[in-house]
Structure 1
């Protein structure tokens, strides 16, 4: 078949990309366009007319055999494919692709010399057959161990634009083996130009950096390779093991200690209190910060367990806790995490089945008490620390690059401990499933961050349910939304929100540090109580104000009155343990109050059946609506209060 195209305006309408191209470029493009499988047309230009000769007869008579040969190669029946290809070559020896695929089939059968001969024939018919050039390079590199000859073919393949990132990375690795680092680096970077973040190329750059004694750079490249590789890829494990090895080597230098000394001096200057650091293998946690104010000391004290890897990271982590507290104190937002005996008693009610199991096993009461308190304290530690720890690790990762090997080793060990704590059969037999699940969710959030920072995917090892993983992912998203715009003490918002989402908010109280200290001083407390018995003039906790602001922003988007929602939540909590008759009594009392009019802007309403509390007008209306909806719903419409949406939202929150 002959196709004729006069070179005119209409031709460039059909092939607009060829306008302003020379004859050679037009010929090359049309060959590519009219190529069908292995059948390349002949294109000539004469007197401003293009002639395209397509060998349709060859296509008709040979295509089926060619496709059969390709299919046999895909099925790895290379011997049968060889037979078909040799017949095709006898019929049409000028087809470069027949020779190229024959070379591939022979190479797969271990006949490398015959494969080279077939590939040379392919290149004699088409010197720019990029895949034939690549295969020649591979054979000389892998089987002949002749890097010099391999590179000649690889360079020609690059000129033919047939080299992909796989091949370029292979070339880089070959050159690395020959210790030709500059050339290897060039090919690895070219691979990354084609496929950014290709893990093999990144790992090879890491190996090169190690050869050049750039250990930190080598570690960073290994981590990048881990992040980009699939966990099932053998490279993932290779890069991970190399990262661990390099991190261990780096953690033996003094970069961690240098960071600790500098950071401690900074915090001592900012906070005005000295910091001491000591080893203590008897503490219940891997490391802890004992604040001077809480321990009645003149100095803060960081304690750590010495049997954990990269303890410099543990100490730095605890000092960031202090840093965050210093920031929060400057704006009077610092919060104290308080847990009373009443909180503990409430928690222990849910632990009764576990306590009964332990008693039946004959465990002494002292041991049972120690166990249950350990579960309570451990869950509280997770509740308080998990959101804050996320901000701390993000801060350390970004600000202290030289500390990353320490952080990597330390977090990896802590993740292993976390996995064991929620998958150990003995723990699962004793601890209520609900508590294990909540602990697992918090640990999964940490695991998601570890994966984000260092590419290590440990999620499956937690054996989490779909619901647990979804909750952890939602928490992690909330953290990510806040991390780059965090203001001092905003991490406490996540402590409260996540605890509420997991129904753990009854295990503790968060209280503003200044207000707690004022209450602890009996003279100050009594004086304030005398002046403002109903707390109407006491400034609201700034953190609570911030929490309300965020809530209101969300509610505005949903078209509800956020203040009314929160007051209805309060009303639902108040009415929770009241009988229908008790709620009716309050409902009728508020109705009587309503006959005189309720001003939403007024702040000192009194409801006799809710003693020792003053209400704003909006609060009264919220209690009014809630009491009638709970106790007298048939007459609710008569109140004229359109709080349906607010009530539904409050029910979800409460």
Structure 2
């Protein structure tokens, strides 16, 4: 931009068509709403620019535009009328006044000003466009509106907004095919105009092309920077179309992917309804439950449940990839992890005691906090990869994903902003949970355009941390290698100082430690070791004992032994011996380490896990038949010594 001295003439030698040259020079030297006077005499061109007027009126002009944008029409009209009085030949001043009057509802007076705008500049594209809008929307005179639109296109054939409005008027007349051609032409000129995408979504929905309607609605949401009426209409359209898609779609769209994973993983997969699970859906890996099949459980009445099933299947897909690379990890929490967590929430526990909350309710509340935070620590980073994968690899699933993630975002929002939750929960735990929820909200905004970030009422530090986490995910997502998602699980937990609440362990190493259960299960088929192949048994025992040396004390066995010592402490030796032989006889059928419902007939109203019953097995023989314990070859000597010191006879 530059200014020229007052009324100074600039001349030069030109040749060629005068009309075209005049028009191009006017465009080139136009400054805002101020157009120069260009005249051509013989071969000389004179350009007159009224610099003092420009300088004097420019500030008021820009102030008027700002006031209009803020909706302060009263003050804007005062300034604008002054500009019109001083420079009545300026087309743009009249055009802006016409737009203000139209917005205020005075269409007749608006038309008068727009006519004046066109009188001084018949090619004022915005004035032509506004005239078309008024006749189409307020006069219901579509033919007249189209004449103004046609003139606007002649003035500027590459104006996408004019083309969009022509399409809108054709739509209003029910001429959807013709309207769609104009909208598509507008998109080619400017693909970032949300109004056009919204209109295409409307037409697609009318034509029952619901996937296209949903796609266009999402674009209208993403491209709209203002939460105006168009934005809200786009959101409503996206929800309505997504619900229509789900209502009429095939409910087994996940089957093809499921069969692919069965082939790649070599294990069958069952999908079952379960209203009792604590989360919307979960997958139970066959290896962890000693089953022949993987099991996906889901809440049947959850919105767009097909997305939840697919989500869990991607979990399995990632596990298969990681296992093939020997890098899969298991997420576990030990009693020690739980104790570490409980130490951090003691102030909250004390507050609940003062409120006379029952002890059982306090325990349940604290355990819920512990389990909930660990679920977020494990799932949030992995879920980002899963949702990105689903969005890009299964576009037909997006309507399901949209509704399902929206429901989850709302649940997470309520969980960290509810007044009662804030009052009762430890502030530090609530803050960490909010950060994980914010990460999910950041991804939802990127994928679907809806922004709930401000609704979380987060601190600047919380939002900054969530953004750091999401940016770290972005660094990984396009080139993710098997198991890399576990790096984010660990990194983020360390950043939030909650890595002491869980264990993330290589699955191969974990399974190796669990060989104790496999060995003992086989051992119980012959509890006295009389029928086993001796060389094989010695080899297995050596392997088992080496494993025990690697992991040190098994604290679960120790605690179960303390329980056994307390149970047996006042019992006659003969009664203990009876139980010892009963466990030994039951052991001839083998103990399943994953079973949790063993029953010992002599011990009423008690159920045992595999590890629990082995602790009773060892203790009962140690108390009643100590001379035979060595033949059991259970390497629990150190556990038993520790259990003895922990046991306090009553």
TM over 0.5: same fold?
yes
Q: Secondary structure at the match of 1:132?
A: helix
Provide the secondary structure at the position in 1 that maps to 2:247: coil
Match of 1:509 among 503, 506, 512: 503
Note closer, same or farther for the CA distance 1:344–1:231 as it changes in structure 2 (3 Å cut): farther
> Any residues of structure 2 matched to 1:231-246 within 5 Å, and which?
232-246=227-241
Displacement of 1:105 after TM fit? 7.1
Contact 2:214-2:399 within 8 A present in 1 as well: yes
Moved more, 178-187 or 382-391: 178-187
CA contact (8 A) 1:82 1:105 kept: no
- 2:64·2:80 contact (CA, 8 Å) conserved in 1? no
Aligned-pair distance for 1:532? 12
Corresponding residue of 1:571? none
Distance 1:196 1:229 in 2: 12
Q: Greater shift after overlay, 515-524 or 246-255?
A: 515-524
Displacement, 1:254? 2.7
Decide which of 217, 242, 247 is 2:242's aligned counterpart: 247
**Deviation of the 1:161 alpha carbon:** 2.2
Structure 1 residues 311 and 160, CA gap change in structure 2 (3 angstroms): same
* 1:29 and 2:35 correspond: no
CA distance in 2, matches of 1:319, 1:195: 39
CA contact (8 A) 1:107 1:115 kept: yes
1:3 matched residue in structure 2 = 9
Secondary structure of 2:479's counterpart equals coil
Residue of structure 1 in register with 2:646 after alignment? none
Identify which range, 106-115 or 354-363, moves more after superposition: 106-115
1:132 aligns with 2:127: yes
Name the counterpart of 2:421.
427
Secondary structure at the residue paired with 2:253?
helix
Which is worse superposed, 151-160 or 388-397?
A: 151-160
Equivalent residue for 1:358? 352
Conserved 8 A contact 2:513-2:547: no
Residue from 393, 409, 413 that aligns with 1:399? 393
CA deviation after TM superposition for structure 1 residue 300, in Å = 0.9
Structure 1 unmatched ranges of 5 or more: 9-19, 536-654
In structure 1, the residue matched to 2:599 is: none
Q: How far apart are residue 128 of structure 1 and its match?
A: 2.3
Q: 1:116 to 1:468 in 2, by over 3 A?
A: closer
Looking at structure 1, the residues matched to 76 and 496 of structure 2 have their Cα atoms a distance apart, in angstroms, of: 60
- Secondary structure at 2:191 match in 1: coil
- Paired with 2:457 and 2:108, the residues of 1 have a C-alpha distance of 52
Deviations 1:229-265 (A, max 9, x none): 235322222111111111111111334x332111111
Aligned-residue offset at 1:194: 4.9
Alignment of 1:357-506 (within 5 A): 357-506=351-500
1:177 aligns with 2:172: yes
Change (3 A) 1:526 1:226: farther
Preserved contact between residue 130 and residue 163 of structure 1 (Cα < 8 Å): no
Distance 1:21 1:201 in 2: 41
- Asked if the contact 2:515/2:544 (under 8 Å) is kept, the reply is no
Tell me if structure 1 keeps the 8 A contact 2:80–2:97. yes
Alignment of 1:70-469 (within 5 A): 75-76=73-74, 112-113=107-108, 116=111, 119-120=114-115, 123=118, 126-161=121-156, 165-230=160-225, 232-255=227-250, 257-469=251-463
Distance 2:154 2:186 in 1: 14
Contact 1:82 1:106 in 2 (8 A): no
Instruction: Tell me if structure 1 keeps the 8 A contact 2:158–2:189.
Output: no
Report Cα offsets for 1:271-329 as digits up to 9, x if no partner: 11111111111111111101111111111111111221111111111111111111111
Per-residue deviation at 1:155? 1.6
Distance 2:464 2:375 in 1: 22
Query: In 2, Cα distance between the equivalents of 1:231 and 1:426?
Result: 33
Tell me the distance in 2 between the aligned counterparts of 1:498 and 1:315: 26
Q: Give the CA deviation at 1:183.
A: 3.6
Q: Which residue of 2 aligns with 1:555?
A: none
CA gap of 1:390–1:95, structure 2 versus 1, over 3 A, is closer
Task: Give the secondary-structure state (helix, strand or coil) at the position aligned to 1:428.
Answer: helix
Give the corresponding residue for 2:643: none
Secondary structure of the 1:216 match is helix
1:332 Cα deviation from its structure 2 partner: 0.6
Is the alpha carbon distance of 1:494 and 1:128 closer, same or farther for their aligned partners in structure 2, counting shifts above 3 Å?
Answer: same
Please state how far the C-alpha of 1:23 moved relative to its aligned partner: 3.9
CA shift for structure 1 position 529: 7.2
Superposed CA RMSD in Å reads 3.6
- Equivalent position of 1:590 in the other structure: none
Q: In 2, are the aligned partners of 1:4 and 1:49 still within 8 Å (CA)?
A: no
